[in-house]
Amino acid sequence: MSDVPPDVIAKIKKAKEKNLTTLDLSRSKLIKVPKSLGQLTNLATLDLRGNQIVELTKFLGNLTNLTKLNLSNNQITKLPESLEKLTHLTEVNLWNNRIKELPESMERLTYLTKLSLRQNQITELPKSIGQLTNLTELNLWGNQIIELPESIGQLTNLATLDLRGNQIAKIPGSIGQLTNLNYLDLLHNKLTIIPDNISQIINLEIFILSNNLLSSLPNTMGELKNLRELSFPKNQIKYLPESIAKLPKLRKIALSSNPLETPPMEVCRKGIDTIKEYFQQLEQEGKDYLYEAKLLIVGEPGAGKTTLAKKIQDSDYQLQEEDSTKGIDVIQYNFPLKNGQNFRVNIWDFGGQEIYKETHQFFLTKRSLYTLVLDSRKEDDNCHYWLNIVELLTEDSPVLIIKNERQDRQKEINENALRGRFNNLKETLATNLLTKRGLPQILNKIEHYISNLDHVGDVLPKTWKRVREVLEKDHRNYISLQQYLDICQENGFKKREDKLQLSGYLHDLGVCLHFQEDPLLNKTVILKPEWGTAAVYRVLDNTTVVNNKGKFTKNDLANIWDEDEYMEMRDELLQLMVNFKLCYEIPGQKHTYIAPQLLSNNQPDYSQLWDNNNNLILRYTYEFMPKGIITQFIVVMHKDIEQQKYVWKSGVLLNKDQTKAEVIKNYDKREIKIRVFGQNKRDLMTIVTHEIDKIHNVYKRLKCSKLIPCNC
């Protein structure tokens, strides 16, 4: 026993002398099981976890009274046949070893209730696993199992089955025999189908199917009356079974990263109660289908976006000198589908001015088709900016590049390079809008791509479609919440929560604006989003506001919004700007606001306020840097601006809890630099990075790094 640590020798000796039933040799630096351990025949519990044991010796088979054996976190490659002698074992933990197979002799451990083989290298379970009929917990997470034997259905006492992180492509039909199972985890496998008889697992409470290859869920899942939690993110599921609405105990559902069409994702992301209400309305009111989508036209000022929009609507439209679009214009275009349905295109024509780029995250929506218009006369078309921002905000919405070749002046772009970088770029098309050269082809491609968007043909309750049609025919820019609720009531809605569910869906689609969580804005439904955004941009474009470096008062707004259409909605429109993080009220100056996009470019001198010693420094560096991150951050943190004067268009100095933070954007370098000094440096740095990270979350695929300077 010379290679056994002295403290282990002492523990074994003591256990023998006192006839102990429990022995803890965890983390004892053992490389093998000591021979003397085989003499402790009265042991009931043995803990050998966290050692470096490679092989289990036959002496272990002498411990015939063992009930609990923990061998986790070793380097065991094989289980010995002598293990079959330990017939009183109830719990065995072999987590995190190198075991590749289980011996058939394990079938004799019939008293086993808990078996953990998590994080080993097992590729196949023996048929004899079915003999362990007293098992209540079986953990096989993180192995390489390809197939489950049918005999697994014999484990009828199983309550927990963890199969995460394997290579399982098929669940055996015998799974339905596990009627006592309440936890089943199949995360990160290769499943393509769930058998219908999953419904027989009547006590199942938690079912995890995330990160597989599933394209559907069986309708029989509606029979799992005890199911409380269902998780299936990162699959290919388009349709949820209607029976899911009949699960009385289901309270949690996770379903992100699926191409869901029914219910629409705008419904699904609100949770199980909303999903249940959707299906109940389908059942009660009948079904209709959505044949409508948004076409968003983007590009630099003067590229021809407005002309293209009007040419799509009417190919005979006569070109004229167009005023630059202020904010967004929305027009409609209709065309027939092959199935006889009329398809409606809502064309959103975006102003390309720099100030409008600050607000793209609010209007560049998913489930839309994008056309990027490039002017053949201009070298700098900001093509990469537009493709990047669409990619970040819209989850692979298709993009067409339209080259506006005025006077037939051709424009060359590196299309192969762009396709290699942007997977959502579908085609590059050229046109002369004056002569209509290429216009029929553009119309054909637009109709093709927009009618094949994933959400087209979505199933909707008939009441939803009726209300939507009523709202869209309404000439008013906005209505009160009560007026909206009355319209819903007149068109078949009975419950208030169903009416609000629809307004939330229409808000997410961009059909109307209803901010249900805002105590002021929730009282109004804005029927024409372009009206609301135009009002916002009137402030940002106003000469007085621009000359005042973004500062304005409520009196200024009374002059800017002086028409009848705005008169009764000034407070709501101002709150809309606050919600969009476009402005903030200056603390201590009631009814006085700042739009940080219009602040001075000049960084003020605050060297007398800054101590350069012992600064905490952090940099965010971006592959692509969207506009507006720093101005949104300024709005969020405006209460902590140093003396409410050390703020400029690309940066801000903060003062909080006797600590200062400098946050500066350098757009050319694609970075934001943060410096902090004072008594609570780490706390303030945490607050600053937390708020920046929250803004980043809007851009789902934003690639950036946090860099901390080396102390050297």
Query: Which is it for strands 91-93 and 68-70: parallel, antiparallel or unpaired?
Result: parallel
144 by DSSP, 3-state: which?
coil
Whole-angstrom distance, CA of residue 249 vs CA of residue 444 = 49
| Token pair of 307 as six digits | 């002309």
Question: What is the reported pLDDT for 605?
Answer: 94
Distances (CA, A) of 448 to 165, 238, 340, 561, 564: 40, 21, 15, 41, 41
The pTM for the full model equals 0.73
Rounded mean pLDDT of 216-244? Answer: 93
The answer to whether the 292-451 and 599-707 domains have the same CATH topology is no
CATH tag, 292-451: 3.40.50.300
Whole-angstrom distance, CA of residue 623 vs CA of residue 58 = 59
Question: What is the reported pLDDT for 380?
Answer: 64
Range from 66-70, 468-472, 592-596 carrying the lowest mean pLDDT? 468-472
Whole-angstrom distance, CA of residue 676 vs CA of residue 682 = 8
Model pLDDT for residues 412-467, shown as the tens digit of each residue: 788 888 888 888 899 999 998 888 899 999 999 999 999 988 878 888 888 988 99
Rounded mean pLDDT of 542-548? Answer: 94
Whole-angstrom distance, CA of residue 670 vs CA of residue 662 = 17
Whole-angstrom distance, CA of residue 620 vs CA of residue 593 = 29
Could you give the percent of the chain with pLDDT greater than 90? Answer: 56
Greater model confidence, 58 or 400: 400
Question: What is the reported pLDDT for 353?
Answer: 63
Strand order in the sheet with 659-666: 647-648, 651-656, 659-666, 671-678, 616-622, 704-707
Whole-angstrom distance, CA of residue 263 vs CA of residue 395 = 18
Rounded mean pLDDT of 191-196? Answer: 94
Helix (H) / strand (E) element for 675: namely: strand 671-678
- CB 224 within 8 Å of CB 198: yes
Question: What is the reported pLDDT for 306?
Answer: 87
Helix (H) / strand (E) element for 268: namely: helix 265-268
Cα 461 to its chain centre, rounded Å, is: 26
Question: What is the reported pLDDT for 671?
Answer: 95
DSSP class of 406? G
Whole-angstrom distance, CA of residue 312 vs CA of residue 327 = 20
Query: Which is it for strands 425-431 and 399-404: parallel, antiparallel or unpaired?
Result: parallel
Whole-angstrom distance, CA of residue 668 vs CA of residue 550 = 23
CATH architecture of 599-707: 2-Layer Sandwich (3.30)
Whole-angstrom distance, CA of residue 164 vs CA of residue 144 = 10
User: Residue 571 is which amino acid?
Assistant: D
The band of 391, judged by pLDDT with boundaries at 50, 70 and 90, is confident
Whole-angstrom distance, CA of residue 314 vs CA of residue 486 = 36
Whole-angstrom distance, CA of residue 426 vs CA of residue 369 = 10
HSE on the CB side for 37, CA within 13 Å?
25
Model pLDDT for residues 178-190, shown as the tens digit of each residue: 999 999 999 999 9
Rounded mean pLDDT of 293-297? Answer: 88
Question: What is the reported pLDDT for 158?
Answer: 97
Whole-angstrom distance, CA of residue 661 vs CA of residue 615 = 9
Highest mean pLDDT among 135-149, 504-518, 623-637: 135-149
Strand order in the sheet with 584-585: 551-553, 592-594, 584-585
Residue 356 has pLDDT above 70, yes or no: no
- CB 175 within 8 Å of CB 138: no
Residue 712 has pLDDT above 60, yes or no: no
Question: What is the reported pLDDT for 354?
Answer: 59
Question: What is the reported pLDDT for 323?
Answer: 62
Model pLDDT for residues 249-265, shown as the tens digit of each residue: 999 999 988 988 888 88
> What are the structural domain ranges in the chain?
292-451, 460-561, 599-707
Whole-angstrom distance, CA of residue 193 vs CA of residue 429 = 41
Model pLDDT for residues 48-84, shown as the tens digit of each residue: 999 999 988 888 889 999 999 999 999 999 998 888 8
Could you give the percent of the chain with pLDDT greater than 70? Answer: 96
- CB 162 within 8 Å of CB 138: yes
Greater model confidence, 305 or 395: 305
Query: What does the mean pLDDT of the chain come to?
Result: 89
CATH class of 460-561: mainly alpha
Model pLDDT for residues 27-39, shown as the tens digit of each residue: 999 998 888 898 9
Q: How many CB atoms lie within 10 A of CB 586?
A: 18
The band of 1, judged by pLDDT with boundaries at 50, 70 and 90, is very low
